[in-house]
Amino acid sequence: MTRDDLIRRISERYPGISLAEARSLILDFIEAMKYSIIQSENLELRRFGVFEVHHRDSRVARNPKTGEKVQVGPRKSLIFRPGKILKTRMKNLTKRSG
């Protein structure tokens, strides 16, 4: 599903919300999510999951092509942990299709 699909779906599901209002709503929501993540805050969406910012320390790695040791600086990574309800639904989908 793309952002535009989501906007269209909300507009169709709630007839009182125009396509322009749905677009504005979704774009504002995405911007709020981005801002929270950029500020290194965890973002929790109840019944869906949590986006967590992990800080990774600098380390020594190996260039796979040359085998040479390379210093990799510290960085941040984003981890998504699904909520209990989402996990359960995904597990049930897997059982039905398998």
pLDDT at 40 over 90: no
Question: What are the boundaries of each domain within the chain?
Answer: 1-39, 42-98
pLDDT at 90 (0 to 100) = 87
Cα-based distances in Å from 7 to 4, 46, 69:
5, 21, 47
Give the chain as a DSSP string. Answer: --HHHHHHHHHHH-TTS-HHHHHHHHHHHHHHHHHHHHTT--EEETTTEEEEEEEE--EEEE-TTT--EEEE--EEEEEEEE-HHHHHHHHHHHHHH-
Query: Tens digits of per-residue pLDDT, 74-83?
Result: 999 999 999 9
Return mean pLDDT, the chain: 91
Mean per-residue pLDDT, 83-98:
82
User: What fold is seen in the domain 42-98?
Assistant: HU Protein; Chain A (4.10.520)
pLDDT at 98 (0 to 100) = 56
pLDDT at 5 over 70: yes
Residue 41 confidence class, pLDDT cut points 50, 70, 90 = confident
